[in-house]
Structure 1
Amino acid sequence: MELHLPAPGGALGRLVAGFDRFRHSHFEADHELYDQLLEGQRPEVMVIACSDSRTDPAIICGARPGELFVIRNVAALVPPPARDGAPHGTASAIEFGVKALGVRHIVVLGHAFCAGVRCLLGHDHGAAQFDYVSDWVGVAGEVRAEMDGLVTEADRSLVARRGEQAAVLTSLRHLAAYPFVADRVAAGQLALHGWYFHLGWGVLQAAEGPCGPFRQLDAGEAPRPAIGHVAEPVA
């Protein structure tokens, strides 16, 4: 197999140029941070986000390296616990973040215009071309059942938004069912949050409980968890 260097100005060339900017403006300018990161990662927050290229949680939240432990998959879904001997990528990442890193907060971050949720709801007529996506989004099948009867051409946009938010709440409830998560929530060591980013409006909302509703967050506000409570450390 022959390897090729990225062409200047092409998609990969822009990424290499971006890395060069990162190296100069961050890596070389903040030696103290990167010296600390060499000793290991200690993020307080895990974010379970969608793979969508428009919704990078570190960019949306302005996070620095080492601040977020990020899990990304189609539609930001958390499957229910399953001890069936099969490999489980999302569950294993959650387990590592909770058990090994001791994160204090888990944020399930959904978003508007999510193709994965459209596939779940049956809105994406091209979904038949996928071998794996339909099976994956089926882990949130209860969302589809909840939206049945609401889906018409007239209110499809509204139903899609309801479905996207319902998927966040479903993932939160699945997350809370993992024993190692539930134990830490009960002990006050972990809190679970459901957030929804509307990329058309530039708005971030948070679920006020495990069944909603969602409320817009204001700048600098510390949103209360949807499930559990963790006392923030005193500065």
Structure 2
Amino acid sequence: MSFHIIRARRAHPQHPVLLRLTSGFRRFQYRWYHPDEPLFESLREGQNPLALVIACCDSRVDPVLLTDCRPGDLFVVRNVANLVPPYAPDGGRHGVSAALEYAVKHLRVQDVIIMGHACCGGIHALVSGGGDENRDEFIGPWVDVARHALEKVDEAMPGACDADRARACELWNVRLSLDNLMTFPWVKSAVEEGRLSLHGWYFDLQSGELLEYDAERQAFRPLVGHPHVGRNPVSSRG
């Protein structure tokens, strides 16, 4: 079946989506496989990323684009709502945990970044009740990983509207994922020994601002200055 699908797509080279993507790949080839660009010569021998980034699979929030990184700079895990489930060595299929283990144990990254963002569909599903029960099989159970973040929000903001609850839950979810990272024994030991640092980031789609969680102040503050945005920290106290 897949063979016929591939042939059908090749038979329509002017398909607008494929044309856009293949044109982009040509630009990629020109930029990174240029005779004067040696980057992929070294990457053929293996990867040595600067950091692990756990981000949402939202198409508007690409960590590589947001940080203007080169190929090989970031080891990226993307899932609905940038969640890190707690440590659960139960023999199940744990994609996020497997990527985390590979990054920490084998690639020996020195930084792990949780990158949340505004207008997150996964968090909206959690706030609104876990997705459409008539159609969705996996979204509700997955975003329920962040249930504790929503409970913190509802405890701190009783009676708030869904939009305010969702925004606060997006911020709390970054904190929850940082806490869940520390339930992995090899993450915890690496942090305590100073070999690994954990960071919580939040990209505000509406303002174009990148915030960082300040554990001492229990608030998010601008990580990078923005010429059109104030610098008041965004509290996530619960």
Give the TM-score of the pair, scaled to structure 1.
0.87
The equivalent of 1:173 in structure 2 is 179
Aligned mates of 2:114, 2:148 — CA distance in 1:
17
1:120-199 matches, within 5 Å, as 120-122=126-128, 126=132, 128-148=134-154, 150=157, 152=159, 155-199=161-205
Matched position secondary structure for 1:148: helix
Please tell me whether residue 60 in structure 1 is matched to residue 93 in structure 2.
no
Aligned mates of 1:58, 1:210 — CA distance in 2:
28
The equivalent of 1:208 in structure 2 is 214
Aligned mates of 2:87, 2:102 — CA distance in 1:
15
Q: Would you say the 8 A contact 1:169–1:211 is kept in 2?
A: no
Q: Which deviations, in whole Å up to 9, do the C-alpha atoms of 1:142-193 show, x marking residues without a partner?
A: 01211236365x6432221110010110000000110010010011000000
Aligned mates of 1:47, 1:90 — CA distance in 2:
11
Q: CA deviation at 1:18?
A: 0.3
The equivalent of 1:113 in structure 2 is 119
Q: Would you say the 8 A contact 2:211–2:221 is kept in 1?
A: yes
**Structure 1 residue runs of 4+, over 6 Å off?**
none
How many aligned positions are there? Answer: 219
Q: CA deviation at 1:44?
A: 2.1
Aligned mates of 1:136, 1:12 — CA distance in 2:
31
Q: CA deviation at 1:216?
A: 0.7
- Runs of 5+ in structure 2 lacking a partner? 226-238
Over the aligned positions, Cα root-mean-square deviation in angstroms equals 2.1
Aligned mates of 2:135, 2:24 — CA distance in 1:
34
Matched position secondary structure for 2:195: coil
Q: CA deviation at 1:121?
A: 1.5
The equivalent of 2:233 in structure 1 is none
Q: Which deviations, in whole Å up to 9, do the C-alpha atoms of 1:63-91 show, x marking residues without a partner?
A: 10110000000000000000111111100
Q: Percent identity?
A: 39
- Runs of 5+ in structure 1 lacking a partner? 220-235
Aligned mates of 1:120, 1:210 — CA distance in 2:
28
Aligned mates of 1:84, 1:131 — CA distance in 2:
22
Q: Would you say the 8 A contact 1:121–1:147 is kept in 2?
A: no
Q: Would you say the 8 A contact 1:109–1:196 is kept in 2?
A: yes
Q: CA deviation at 1:125?
A: 6.1
Q: Would you say the 8 A contact 1:46–1:103 is kept in 2?
A: yes
Aligned mates of 1:104, 1:210 — CA distance in 2:
21
Aligned mates of 2:162, 2:35 — CA distance in 1:
48
